[in-house]
A and B are shown apart, each in its own frame.
Chain A
Amino acid sequence: MTTRAPRPAAIALATATVLAMSACGGGGFDEGSDPTGQASGPAELTILIGSSGPAETDAVTAAAQAWSEESGNTATVTAAQDLPQQLSQGFAAGSPPDVFYVSSDTVASYAENGSLEPYAGDLSNVDDFYPNLREAFTVDDQFYCAPKDFSTLSLIINTDSWAAAGLTDEDIPTSWDELSAVAEQLTTPDQVGLTTSTEYQRLGAFMAQAGGGLVTDGTATADSSENVEALEYVQSVVELGAWSFAADLDSGWAGEAFGNARAAMTIEGNWMIGAMSADYPDINYQVVPLPEGPAGAGTLTFTNCWGIAAQSDNIEAAKDLVEFLTSSEQQLEFASAFGVMPSVESAADQWRADNPDFVAFLDQADVAVAVPNQVGVSDVVADLNAQLEGLSSGDPQAILDSAQSNLEAIL
């Protein structure tokens, strides 16, 4: 008999295990698949944001409070430590936040697995968003989520170095040749003319100026001659010694190298405004549009949207909240609180009046292209970035060829 003793215990354990597993299974399934499970009465919304700092958290919290008072619902703002991870956990557990930030390069992956409610087409202010931002959040012809704000890349110039090199406003570069010329003039033993990171998210601006891009109308065009031309141009300036990459200047990002006066120019987005005043208040700088390439003006844009979880019980209230948050007035409040640019055209004039020194960022909105948003592109871009780290001594054609084959595999 004693040999049998373990059996009941083992069976009990197995039963408990199976029960526990099915319990885990039940909850998520019911919530996930029931489209009519919308709550009635005042809604309690949770908002998860990937905040850049206390200024952003406070501003979003204040806006959520204002909406709560106006609408009679409640909205709680949480600043995520690690947004993608916390979102993944929320979705897997069947209890995601109702409203959250989604970046344009991950929107397709969330849309594809059914996490996102494609609500943005229903908003009353839908036509007010910039067309290229709408496109950034459009997957399979569905406009998924409303852009909350955006940034573009501009040329940032250290005005003291500029004057010291004997340059004037006349010399502000408007072509690639002029850019390499001033970069060379600005290069001193202590300071390099221009610095950027090596990633596609910066060098891609030159591809746009050459008329290229990674994806054109849904087909992979990474190995186009325009892209090769752009990278060869970058290489040529690096060979002149007038352009160093941030990592080679011991900097985590180009803004750090610029702020520490190790470079006289950099190419960054409007987040530089906040970074410069917080970390490097002593550096005098000026923001001008990027120079034009062989195919004209071009820059990259980066944007996040207000995603609404398809699993949310309060989709209608969430839409109302997003409409409030993306209104012209509210976006201008965000702009003054933490230096973003409104995603709606109706707020542009007021933003220009409020930020006369930084209009270059907004002036380039029409020529800005977003990072491609197809599923899997973020991996291809990550791999491209890994190879671009070796650009100074690498072969642009070979780098782009491998990106091309990776892109063809996913498109």
Chain B
Amino acid sequence: MSSRRSRDAGGIRGREAAAGWLFTAPALVILGLFLALPILMAAWVSVSDWRGQGSPFSSSVGFVGADNYRGILSAESGLPARDFGTALRNNFWYVVLVVPLQTILSLFLAVLVNRKVLRGRGFFRTAFYFPSVTSSVAIVIVFLFLFSGSGAVNKSLSWLGVNGPNWFADPRGVAHVVLGVFGIDGAPALLSDNGFLSLSWWEWLAGPSVAMSALIMLAVFTTSGTFMLLFIAALQNVSGEVQEAALLDGASGWQRFRFVTLPLLRPTLFTVLTLGLIGTWQVFDQIFVGTQGGPAKTTITPAYLSYTSSFLNNRWGQGAAIAFILFAIIVVLTLIQRWVLRERGVPKRKRYVPDAAVVGTTR
């Protein structure tokens, strides 16, 4: 397809291609050197027995095939596989809760501060955006204080008569805690004897630990502002005429939001969900600064595990393998999400074009 098109455009304009390559060369070289090359090196490390000694391309480093991958996926390898399963479980719950919450909250905030009648809009916009421009390390440290056993959060909870947990020291899974309230303390044999990736289904169902829940709140708090900004930009693109037309048709406020505004926001929604999905699967800094994987490994994530196995345990192959599995997970989930959010009733050719104009013309 593309080659035919470029052939059609050829002839007299042939030299333009060379010039194009010349002008993009600096960017290509930089990307190749600092992006493509490290990725290729990491790919090699993930199938080699390199132990962090000298160059991974030296003759003493051997090819071990899928051994590193087997080491973290096969239940027979014991601790590393269990750690990886735990990390995936932790991160899964983190993603499942953070992505929808931050998307809803940021959309809500955007709609709120986009209203022309709101007094002091500029102030609120700045206030909501502020956490996003603050150093995440600083925010994590503030949260560590807020959520300490005798911290501000538990103090406020005590006014409501609630005895708050010792957040960052509490490894109990939230779902287990809730089930415990209803008197379900152990798992049925079906759940505890079977499992996936070295963890029993009962452990998978634990939900995020109390400590992870605090990190989930932190993530929602810090990222909502950024995504709010994206939504505001999109909302300002929704023309007043469309709203007026809906108003004349007798649509209520909610109907206008649900059937007019929201469909027009679909491209932005796609962006926000994709960025959210990628960002949350890669969560690292909050873990590194805040909890170091504790309590009881309930906040280790694949990204953090990749770091510790490489840098602290000198198992670089395994660290790289974890990174590639994480990469695969993100790509697959992004594709699934793209498919779910695709434009229905649009000619196939135009389906994946995230362009508001397409949406507008088909309505």
List chain A positions with a Cβ less than 8 A from chain B.
1-3, 5-6, 9, 13, 16-17, 20-22, 24-29, 31-33, 84-85, 88, 91-92, 94, 109-110, 112-115, 247-250, 311, 376, 378-380, 383, 386-387, 389-390, 405-406, 409-410
Contacts and interface: CB of A to CB of B under 8 A. Distances in A.
Closest 10 pairs (CB-CB, A-B): A25-B57, A28-B55, A32-B54, A28-B54, A29-B58, A113-B51, A247-B169, A2-B10, A409-B78, A5-B17
Given A1-B10, A389-B295, A33 B58 contact: yes
B53 A406 contact: no
Contact of A379 (B37, B58, B166, B313): B313
Contact of A386 (B9, B21, B59, B296): B296
Given A26-B55, A113-B51, A390-B171, A17 B41 contact: no
A248 B149 contact: yes
B295 A29 contact: no
Contacts of A32: 53-55, 58, 60
B74 to A, nearest CB: 12
Given A5-B17, A29-B59, A406-B79, A13 B37 contact: no
Interface in B40-59: 40-41, 51-59
B21 A250 contact: no
A248 B170 CA distance: 9
Contacts of B10: 1-3
29 contacts: A1-B10, A2-B10, A2-B13, A5-B14, A5-B21, A17-B40, A20-B37, A21-B40, A22-B57, A28-B58, A29-B55, A29-B57, A32-B54, A32-B55, A33-B54, A88-B310, A88-B314, A91-B53, A92-B316, A94-B54, A94-B55, A113-B52, A114-B51, A379-B79, A386-B295, A386-B296, A389-B295, A390-B171, A410-B79
Interface in B51-96: 51-60, 77-80, 82-83
B148 interface: yes
B36 interface: yes
A386 B14 CA distance: 65
B55 A24 contact: yes
A83 to B, nearest CB: 10
B297 A380 contact: no
B32 interface: yes
A25 B28 contact: no
A27 B25 contact: no
Given A1-B14, A20-B33, A32-B55, 4 more contacts: A2-B14, A13-B28, A88-B312, A383-B297
A25 B58 CA distance: 6
B54 A9 contact: no
Contacts of B311: 84-85, 88
B255 interface: no
A13 B32 contact: yes
Contacts of B169: 247-248, 389
B3 interface: yes
A24 B311 CA distance: 19
Contacts of A27: 55
A24 B52 contact: no
Interface string B27-39: 0110011001100
Given A378-B313, A383-B297, A387-B296, A21 B166 contact: no
Nearest to B51: A113
Contacts of A390: 171, 296
Interface string B309-342: 0111110100000000000000000000000000
A13 B29 contact: yes
B53 A24 contact: no
Nearest to A31: B54
Contacts of B189: none
Contact of B79 (A24, A28, A250, A409): A409
Contacts of B166: 247-248, 250
B55 A25 contact: yes
Given A3-B3, A21-B41, A115-B53, A109 B296 contact: no
Interface in B1-32: 3, 6-7, 9-11, 13-14, 17-18, 21, 25, 28-29, 32
- Most chain B C-beta atoms within 10 Å of own C-beta, residue among A25, A94, A311, A376: A25
A96 to B, nearest CB: 9
A17 B18 CA distance: 20
Given A247-B166, A405-B78, A3 B294 contact: no
A145 B78 CA distance: 31
Contacts of B33: 20
Interface in B171-203: 171
B117 to A, nearest CB: 45
Given A5-B14, A386-B296, A113 B53 contact: yes
A2 B58 contact: no
Nearest to A25: B57
A17 B32 contact: yes
A24 B57 contact: yes
Contacts of A113: 51-53, 314
Contacts of B59: 29
B294 A386 contact: yes
Contacts of A25: 55-58
Contacts of B294: 386, 389
Given A2-B6, A17-B37, A21-B37, A311 B313 contact: no
A405 B53 CA distance: 30
A253 to B, nearest CB: 13
B150 interface: yes
A91 B52 contact: yes
B54 A380 contact: no
A22 B313 CA distance: 26
